[in-house]
Amino acid sequence: MMYGSRKNKMLAAVIVCAIAAATGCGVQTERNIVTTEAMAGTVMQKDTETEAMGLCAQTAVGVSRDFYENGAAYDAADCMEMIGGIVRRLGAHGYTAVDSGNQVDMTGAQRVIRFCAAVDAGETAGLTVISVVSPDTFRVYAFCTENGGVTIASGYYVCGEDGHAQQQSMAVYPAETWEYTEEGYLLFSGRYRTDFDSVLALSDVPVHTALRVKPLDARYREWNRRYLQPVGYRDHNMFLTDWSETDFGELDFYDLFDRLYPLVYQRPLPYTAGDDLNVDTPYQIPGPVFENVLLRYFRMDSEMLREKLGYDTVHKTYPYVARGFAEAGEPDIPYPEVAGGTENDEGTLTLTVNAVWPKEDTARAFLHVVVIRPLADGGFQYVSNRMLTPEAERSSLWLLPQTESCLFRQSEKETLERQALTAAAEAEEVYRHVDTAEGPAYSSNIQNFTAEQCREAAHLLGQAGYVSVTADTNMENGKALEDFYRAYTEKREAMVTVYQVNPDGLIGAMTFLYRDHAIQTYYIGIGWQNGGIPEIRHTVISDIAEIRLTEKGYFIYTYADQMQYAGMRQYWRIRPLSDACREMTRRYVAGLSYAGYPLLTVDWDAETVDTILEPCMFTDIYRMHTGKSLQAENGRIPAQLFEEIMTVYFPVSVEQLRETCGYEESSESYPYEMAVGSQYAPFGEVVDYREHADGTITLFVDGVWPDYDTDRAYANEIIVQPFADGTFRYLANSVERIDGGSLDM
């Protein structure tokens, strides 16, 4: 059963827990209740509902504390075991409970099934479900139904230091979709508006939830945790294409190396991309390191691997280019769930796997069969994968948002596709001699496309009269985009196309359409055949939640459904920035981060520089100095290297560095630390500068933060001293916080 959007106002049922929480347990005062317009009629009754949900949360907190107080010793590796214990204990108390990751059988599942039957029958009913997020974090769902519609109250609670359940948030919204699937999942979705101080608060927040109701064979769960979950579906095609040990087909072993390296070496992948996605970050990975990862999980000889991947026989290394996509936390992609399995006579396992995709409200985005070979030493190998869902019914374009409805008329889409091919032909000379290879539809699959080629292609498109842009280059013919924005603010129907040349050479023709008080984009991805022949690789229709043109000329737009590998907002700079400012930005600012260390976020000068010195700064400074990413050995940086570079770029002495940056005398080294800060933090942009008689330069830098809808979150004045050999020194920084969110530093 699937329900569309409902606008009817419903009476909120008073939610009663299966049993009362222990007497004397306190519940925190309500801090934040939010409703949609459709729920306006229920506001008077929400206090009682919230109190009942709080009692459920308090019981969950009591159960959790009981685990701790009775001496149960759990570390991070046992967290799932503890969560399972809490779920089962809540079930013993009479609650319907499940873990948020659907890795433990739900207790009280029959209540959910009866509630779904009441929805089907148009009856009035209520249901409460506790979802255990972590041993001290819980979400309580209160559902009520009347006349076939469902209203959802969702409260988020944490265990406070006083042992009481503290409510962190509450949302009430009508279900836009509601389905109990044949696989045994309850899937529901909706939207609500919050008042939280968050970038998400600027528009309705979409919510998609999947709760496994039907129990799953314990063997299937164990097989899934061991063989499927550690790699999942992100950033590789092992479970998206047919292959076997006799024919590895289109498997991308470099992507698999990325995914499997942390499992083998128990540390993050050290071969990372630089800050500039237009510049490849090449590595030569030692053969034993590379082969140790892949040959552990696949039965193949090293000669076959070396032949496929261009092994350098002289240096005994594999060529490798770091991937450029930055990950935005946990992306909204499917997760695997073993739904069936058999143990074969030859010792292998044949697993039938569903791809569960809450974001798309489906418990089976696609179905595939994986064969696993367990090994005597406790390891295992992947033997084969076979897709059971036809390709036409599945998509690997998870990084691109897609909408079901379309504002574009069919004739308009056909015209836009012809125009896109015509426009791309203007850049034919750039692509005539490039080398292409097989690969995913969302990529150009061009080998070694350069930043200079990107700029040349964008310039040729601009000369032909098209709105065109590429990284670190002024947009050409941007006035058309400003005209579109003006029409939008005046509520006049309008359309504009922007041609973006991506770092890999793919040309994206992005057409914005404002019609019927809504905005959509029609994206056409243009790849290239050998000989410089353009072809349409894919098209995507996406809903746009909001657009804005800032005072400085940044066009910022937000997808209604977020892209997997992107910030909350996308942007282009429409109005030009001078060549001198761009050069100053590239040289002095582009390598620095506002997050992770305080270099740009506090005032300092030569007298106070030691207050901002941190080991994690060195990674960025090293990259700016050498143009390469740092490869630290055994988690340490030789003191000579560290001190030689840091004393050039900052007014510091060796003694200051050794006092503040963790110098270890026994190894004569400093600790290797990566700067870890907010994802998609501001980036610096030099908007003006002043040269002084003593040779120093004052840079006026704006911290542009599109994810917080601002092109001036910070205003910096940075003093630098250039040297004749091309290096320079940061002498001082003063900063003013103008607008934007928190970096949580």
* DSSP label at residue 633: B
Res 611: pLDDT: 93
Determine the Cα–Cα distance for residues 597 and 617; give it in Å rounded to an integer: 7
Res 567: pLDDT: 55
Contact 178, 1 (CB under 8 A): yes
pLDDT tens string 293-338: 999 999 998 988 998 888 888 889 998 877 544 333 344 789 999 9
Query: CA angle 288-294-300, nearest 5°?
Result: 100
Task: Return the percent helix, strand and coil in the chain, to nearest 5.
Answer: 30, 30, 40
Mean pLDDT across 696-710: 91
Q: In the predicted model, is pLDDT for residue 742 greater than 60?
A: no
Res 203: pLDDT: 45
Residues shown for the chain: 745
Residue 611: φ, ψ to 5° = -75, -15
Q: In the predicted model, is pLDDT for residue 554 greater than 90?
A: yes
DSSP 531-588: TTEEEEEEEEEEEEEEEEE-TT-EEEEEESS--TTS-S-EEEE-S---HHHHHHIIII
Sheet with 570-573: strands ordered across: 467-469, 494-501, 507-515, 518-529, 533-549, 554-559, 570-573
* DSSP label at residue 442: T
Q: In the predicted model, is pLDDT for residue 258 greater than 80?
A: yes
For 295-304, 573-582, 706-715, which range has the lowest pLDDT when averaged over its residues?
706-715
For 101-105, 313-317, 670-674, which range has the lowest pLDDT when averaged over its residues?
670-674
Determine the Cα–Cα distance for residues 85 and 74; give it in Å rounded to an integer: 11
Structure tokens at 551: 């005072």
| CA count, 13 A, side-chain hemisphere, 175 | 28
Contact 289, 311 (CB under 8 A): no
pLDDT tens string 236-246: 889 988 999 98
Mean pLDDT across 280-294: 85
Determine the Cα–Cα distance for residues 689 and 489; give it in Å rounded to an integer: 34
Q: In the predicted model, is pLDDT for residue 357 greater than 50?
A: yes
CA of 547: how far to CAs of 202, 466, 519, 573, 577, in Å?
Answer: 12, 21, 9, 13, 21
Beta-bridge mates of residue 498: 467, 510
Determine the Cα–Cα distance for residues 668 and 382; give it in Å rounded to an integer: 43
Res 235: pLDDT: 81
Q: How confident is the model at residue 440 (pLDDT cuts 50, 70, 90)?
A: low
Q: How confident is the model at residue 9 (pLDDT cuts 50, 70, 90)?
A: very low
Q: In the predicted model, is pLDDT for residue 32 greater than 50?
A: no
Which of 41-50, 452-461, 595-604, 613-622 has maximum average pLDDT? 452-461
Res 438: pLDDT: 60
Res 583: pLDDT: 96
Beta-bridge mates of residue 98: 131
Domain boundaries, the chain: 34-214, 220-231+330-393, 243-321, 410-573, 579-737
Burial class (CB in 10 A: 0-12, 13-18, 19+), 535: exposed
Q: How confident is the model at residue 8 (pLDDT cuts 50, 70, 90)?
A: very low
| Three-state secondary-structure class, residue 441 | coil
Q: How confident is the model at residue 43 (pLDDT cuts 50, 70, 90)?
A: very low
Res 745: pLDDT: 41
Strands 149-159 and 165-174: antiparallel
For 11-20, 210-219, 283-292, 660-669, which range has the lowest pLDDT when averaged over its residues?
11-20
Query: How high does pLDDT run on average in the chain?
Result: 83
Q: 């997808």: which residue's tokens?
A: 559
Q: In the predicted model, is pLDDT for residue 644 greater than 90?
A: yes
Mean pLDDT across 41-48: 41
Q: How confident is the model at residue 70 (pLDDT cuts 50, 70, 90)?
A: low
Mean pLDDT across 386-415: 72
Mean pLDDT across 591-597: 85
pLDDT tens string 459-493: 999 999 999 999 999 999 999 999 999 999 999 99
